[in-house]
């Protein structure tokens, strides 16, 4: 999951960034409202963690303008205040959730998963492609009854593929969403990780799920 964090308090921003990255999130961080708005309108994110009180544009202004432009990326608001009016204003402007500081990083992560699933119309935290299952909350992967052990980055890559079964994703898309890198045509990073996942997900099973589409990229599962 690629997340934009817009938070001006350095300690809190670092706390959020560290906690999300430890759970496999790809994180862009800015402490300025104008920069946050620019990123939110030019980069693809799965969710935004948005502080209300910011230098430059404030969080509610950012949210209002995103929704006015038809940008429906899930937004979780952060506030140091507990006044009901501010929370209601954020929700009325189109926020998907809010949290009052201080908070536990585990709760923030759980809420991010919830608003992203809700936005995508998913009723569950489980992904399934044929007999391959992924539990996003408990971070468990199984093929049939066999549990598969994946590293954090392998899990993130497989999650990205499984969220679009049957669709070809390019190496550029994978780099941007899983590593937050601009694509370097000379790197074989994506290919190396695909091979690692194949050894765990496909090697011992008669049906191979991960397909290479020559000159384009990769897909998991049959085309729709």
Read off the pLDDT of residues 20-29 as tens digits, 9 standing for 90 and up. Answer: 998 889 999 9
Q: Which residues contact 131 (CB under 8 A, 6 or more apart)?
A: 143, 144, 207
User: What is the rounded average pLDDT for all residues in the chain?
Assistant: 88
pLDDT digits (tens, 9 = 90+) for 138-179: 789 999 889 999 998 999 899 989 988 888 888 888 887 888
What is the layout of strands, in order, in the sheet containing 217-220? Answer: 169-170, 217-220, 210-213
One of 1.10.275.10, 3.40.50.2000, 3.20.20.70, 1.10.10.10 is the CATH number of 126-220, namely 1.10.10.10
Span 172-217, pLDDT tens digits? 888 878 887 665 767 788 999 999 999 999 988 999 999 999 888 9
Residue 17 pLDDT grade (very low, low, confident, very high; cuts 50, 70, 90): very high
Give the start-to-end residue ranges of the domains of the chain: 2-120, 126-220
E strands of 16-74, at which residues? 26-30, 47-51
**Residue 7 CB neighbour total at 10 angstroms:** 24
CA angle, corner 215, sides to 212 and 218, nearest 5?
Answer: 30
Q: CATH fold of 2-120, please?
A: Rossmann fold (3.40.50)
User: pTM for this one?
Assistant: 0.64
Residue 177 has a pLDDT of 80
Asked if residue 123 has pLDDT above 60, the reply is: no
Rg (CA), the chain: 19
Give the three-class secondary structure for 218.
strand
Burial 59-90 (b: 16+ CB within 10 A, else e): bbebbbebeeeeeebbbbbbbeeeeeebbebb
């Amino acid at each position: 999951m690629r997340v934009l964090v817009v938070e001006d308090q350095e300690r809190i921003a670092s706390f959020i960034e560290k906690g999300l990255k430890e759970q496999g999130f790809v994180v862009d961080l800015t402490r300025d409202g104008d920069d946050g708005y620019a990123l939110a309108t030019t980069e693809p994110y799965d969710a935004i963690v948005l502080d209300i009180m910011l230098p430059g544009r404030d969080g509610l202004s950012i949210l209002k303008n995103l929704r006015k432009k038809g940008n429906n990326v899930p937004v979780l608001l952060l506030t140091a205040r507990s006044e009901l009016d501010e929370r209601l204003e954020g929700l009325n402007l189109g926020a998907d959730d809010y949290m009052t500081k201080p908070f536990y990083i585990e709760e923030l992560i759980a809420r991010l998963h919830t608003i992203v699933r809700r936005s995508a119309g998913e009723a569950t935290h489980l992904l399934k492609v044929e007999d391959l299952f992924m539990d996003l909350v408990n971070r468990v992967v199984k093929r049939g009854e066999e549990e598969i052990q994946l590293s954090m980055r392998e899990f993130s890559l497989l999650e990205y593929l499984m969220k679009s079964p049957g669709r070809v994703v390019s190496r550029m898309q994978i780099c941007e969403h899983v590593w937050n890198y601009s694509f370097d045509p000379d790197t074989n990073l994506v290919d190396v990780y695909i091979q690692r996942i194949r050894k765990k997900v496909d090697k011992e099973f008669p049906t191979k799920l991960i397909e290479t589409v020559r000159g384009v990229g990769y897909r998991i599962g049959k085309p729709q």
